[in-house]
Amino acid sequence: MSEDYLMNTIPRAEPSAIPEALPAILLRIVQELHDVAYLIERIEPQLLDLSGLNVLDHPDSMKVMQGIDLAVQKTRGIADFIDTITSGMPDGWMVDVATALSLVKLAEMQKALAGGISGGYSQPLAKAAGDFDFF
């Protein structure tokens, strides 16, 4: 299927042309970054389950595992950085996020960044093995 077809059939958050407080938007980005870190972090034990503990004996496999750990640390570090600078930002700083939201391809992320979802992870642990989402 073409991307245009998928883009037109997936319900999207309606971008707001009304300016929003920048600190509130940045805090939503922080939440999304923490979600990304959590999802990346869940990969590591899955790889160990699939490959067994002997995967750690191979230098290339160790580099992959270290890369996963680094990705989690960097994602959380960026989230903490944004969170910290946001705390000193005046609430009066307003921005229009409509164009930026229109560039986000994942509907759930677009909704979260638009303020339509509060908290929670994008891929809950309660999903049964074999469940998947079409995208």
pLDDT band at 38 (very low <50, low <70, confident <90, very high): very high
Residue 93, SS3 per DSSP: coil
pLDDT band at 61 (very low <50, low <70, confident <90, very high): confident
Q: Which two tokens stand for residue 29?
A: 């980005």
Q: pLDDT (tens digit, 9 = 90+) per residue, 104-124?
A: 999 999 999 998 765 555 555
* pLDDT value, residue 120: 58
Buried b (16+ CB within 10 A) or exposed e, 20-49: bebbebbbbbbbbbbbbbbebbeeeeeeee
pLDDT band at 130 (very low <50, low <70, confident <90, very high): low
For residues 29-38, average pLDDT: 96
List of residues 6+ apart from 61 with CB closer than 8 A: 51, 55
Q: pLDDT (tens digit, 9 = 90+) per residue, 65-81?
A: 889 999 999 999 999 99
What pTM value is reported for the model?
Answer: 0.71
Q: In whole angstroms, what is the distance from residue 74 CA to residue 83 CA?
A: 14
Hey, what amino acid is at 94? M
Q: What is the mean pLDDT of the chain?
A: 79
